[in-house]
Amino acid sequence: MGRRVFITGLGLIAPHGEDPESVFDRIYQGDSAVRMVRSGTVDFGSDLPLATADFTPKDRIPKTQQLFMARASQMAVVAAEGALQSSGLFGVGQEGPEDGEIGVYMGCGLGGAEILQEGYRTYFVRQSRRGRPSTVPMIMASGPASHISMRFGLHGPTHTYSIACASSTVAIGEAFRAIRDGYLDTALSGGAEAMLNDGSIAAWERLGVLASSHTDGPEASSRPFDLERTGFVLGEGAALLVLEAESALQERAVDPIAEIIGYGVSSDAFSLTEPHAAGQEAAMRSAITDADIEREEVQYVNAHATGTPSGDPIEIEAIKSIFEDHASNLAVSSTKSVHGHLVGASGALETAISAIALQKGRIPPTANLTHPDPSCDLDCVPEYGREAPELTVAISNSFAFGGSNATLVLRKV
Amino acid sequence: MRAYPYLAEVLADKYDVDEDKIRPEATLADLGLDSLMVVEFLFDVEDEFDIEVPDDRAEFETLDEAATLIDELIEAKGD
């Protein structure tokens, strides 16, 4: 057994806003942040449901730094500041602690998508080879992690995991392991994703995985486990967690939000886009073993469930396979029903939601689940959140294109 | 001096340089621009005036020298 690892701070730039408490409350109420958005131009565009974040850095990042930061990096830096402040580690304008190294472990799927788009526009549309010189450092998937390190003077490892939809769950898992195993005491970990530029969206549309608007309105478009689901709603944002070793916590008065107790990963080795129950089951099993708990101790699953017709039943199958008789006791919800799919930032946002759920003893619902799919026949917490004062252990799943699966296990403090 | 007012304006507006510091004899380093910012700044200027600053001529020191160079390039372009 290694050292215990606690979540001591949260910072969000989410479709529901920036304050973690109120973001959670809206998610718990099943209040959708999905809106109909025009992507592209009037003539050459598309209207589709998206979960955008109402974000501009304003004066929270110096103007000259903003110039060289893609939207994902800007979101990451502001969310990181929120996480550091809420952990009490240090506040605005303060340098990081001089003694000890803080690591940055980030997940990001694409990087500076809108900057890449602009570069291609210059090349192909303007037929010019003279794009912005800063294009290269701005499109890197590692940009968000690098900017967090530079902005707050953090000298520990600065790692980026780019594993599609599992990116930030793996990032948090790897930070958890590094702290548990004694490689560092403190890490900022999470994810950032901002690829709601029209070029990226057009590609996603062609893949045929995005939700169309529901007859009840765009707010009802994301419908995991529901018979009327048509795909997922793309979102954007950043979610950052401060992770600390128990020993670091003892040195200052801080109330942790939750404890991370296990992490498991697996690879399907199966398909670029199709999910695979065996691989998902392996990740959950590995995480529960890593947490050194009985599977019957798990009470809540924050599912990956994105709302695609093929994906949701596979996850239910995997959950049944590992939990067997206990599966019917589980609450399994997909909060993507209200915040959409943040891809590389999704796992971090859902880990944050799971941590607050444990802290508050409240299980968030799967909103829009009005016509349950018989192939998703577990307790998927339809429509309404649930008071659960006895809630102690939760898991959060992220399953990626490419067949990478990751699960985190969290415990109430 | 066609270029100088634009250089001063973009330095103040985009690169947040204190206007009091923007003087003909100031170097970009004096004004707090690092190497990436200098490259980006030259790109701004090229884009504005539709010119190309050859690599072997981008060795100016002061803003005044930069403006003189850019004026020459504008003139050579024949606008």
pLDDT over 50 at A99, yes or no:
no
**Mean pLDDT, range A101-111, rounded to an integer:** 96
From A300, A346, A320, A363, select the one nearest A108 (Cα to Cα): A346
What is the least distance, in Å, from the CA of A130 to any CA of chain B?
Answer: 8
**Domain total in chain A:** 2
Contact B43 A132 (CB under 8 A): yes
Whether residue A242 is found in the same domain as residue A143: yes
For residue A256, is it within any domain? no
Among residues A250, A285, A300, the one where a domain terminates is A250
**Mean pLDDT, range A305-322, rounded to an integer:** 98
User: How confident is the model over A162-176, as pLDDT tens digits?
Assistant: 999 999 999 999 999
For chain A, the first-to-last Cα distance in angstroms comes to 18
Among residues A192, A216, A250, the one where a domain terminates is A250
d(CA B79, CA B71): 11
A276 is catalytic: no
Question: b/e for B15-44, b at 16 or more Cβ within 10 A?
Answer: bebeeeebeeebebeebebeeebbebbbbb
- Structure confidence at residue A91 (pLDDT): 57
For A355-384, the DSSP string reads HHHHHHTEEPPBTT--SB-TTS-SB--BSS
A341 is catalytic: yes
Whether residue A118 is found in the same domain as residue A39: yes
User: How confident is the model over A189-215, as pLDDT tens digits?
Assistant: 999 999 999 999 999 999 999 999 999
pTM of the predicted protein model: 0.95
- Structure confidence at residue A93 (pLDDT): 54
What's B49's domain CATH number? Answer: 1.10.1200.10
pLDDT over 90 at A5, yes or no:
yes
- pLDDT band, residue A94 (cuts 50/70/90): low
Sheet strands (E) in A233-364: 237-245, 258-267, 300-302, 331-333, 362-363
Whether residue A173 is found in the same domain as residue A280: no
For residue A346, is it within any domain? yes
Whether residue A300 is found in the same domain as residue A396: yes
What are the residue ranges of helices labelled H in A130-231?
135-139, 143-152, 167-180, 198-207
Name the residue range of residue A382's domain.
261-411
Q: What percent of chain A has pLDDT over 70?
A: 98
From B51, B45, B43, B47, select the one nearest B74 (Cα to Cα): B51
What is the least distance, in Å, from the CA of B17 to any CA of chain A?
Answer: 9
pLDDT over 80 at A277, yes or no:
yes
Give contacts of B15 with chain A, Cβ < 8 Å: 63-64, 67
What's A346's domain CATH number? Answer: 3.40.47.10
Show which residues of B are catalytic: 34
Whether residue A216 is found in the same domain as residue A269: no
Give contacts of B40 with chain A, Cβ < 8 Å: 67-68, 132-134
- pLDDT band, residue A66 (cuts 50/70/90): very high
Contact B40 A137 (CB under 8 A): no
Whether residue A152 is found in the same domain as residue A279: no
User: Which residue out of B37, B44, B55 would a mutagenesis test of the A interface target, given it has the greatest number of A Cβ atoms within 10 Å?
Assistant: B37
Give contacts of A67 with chain B, Cβ < 8 Å: 14-15, 37, 40
For residue A255, is it within any domain? no
Helix, strand or coil for residue A65? helix
Q: Give pLDDT tens digits along chain B (79 positions).
A: 689 999 999 999 999 999 999 999 999 999 999 999 999 999 999 999 999 998 888 888 899 999 999 999 999 987 5
- Structure confidence at residue B66 (pLDDT): 94
Name the residue range of residue B66's domain.
3-77
Give contacts of A130 with chain B, Cβ < 8 Å: 43, 46-47, 52
Q: For chain A, what is the radius of gyration of the CA atoms?
A: 20
Whether residue A217 is found in the same domain as residue A322: no
What is the least distance, in Å, from the CA of B62 to any CA of chain A?
Answer: 20
pLDDT over 80 at A342, yes or no:
yes
Whether residue A164 is found in the same domain as residue A33: yes
For residue A84, is it within any domain? yes
Whether residue A342 is found in the same domain as residue A370: yes
User: How confident is the model over A137-167, as pLDDT tens digits?
Assistant: 999 999 999 999 999 999 999 999 999 999 9
**Domain total in chain B:** 1
For residue A166, is it within any domain? yes
Question: By the 8 A CB rule, do A106 and A189 touch?
Answer: yes
Residue A375 CB coordination number (10 Å): 13
Out of B15, B32, B39, name the one closest to residue A133 (CB).
Answer: B39
Among residues A219, A250, A281, the one where a domain terminates is A250
Q: What is the ipTM of this complex?
A: 0.84
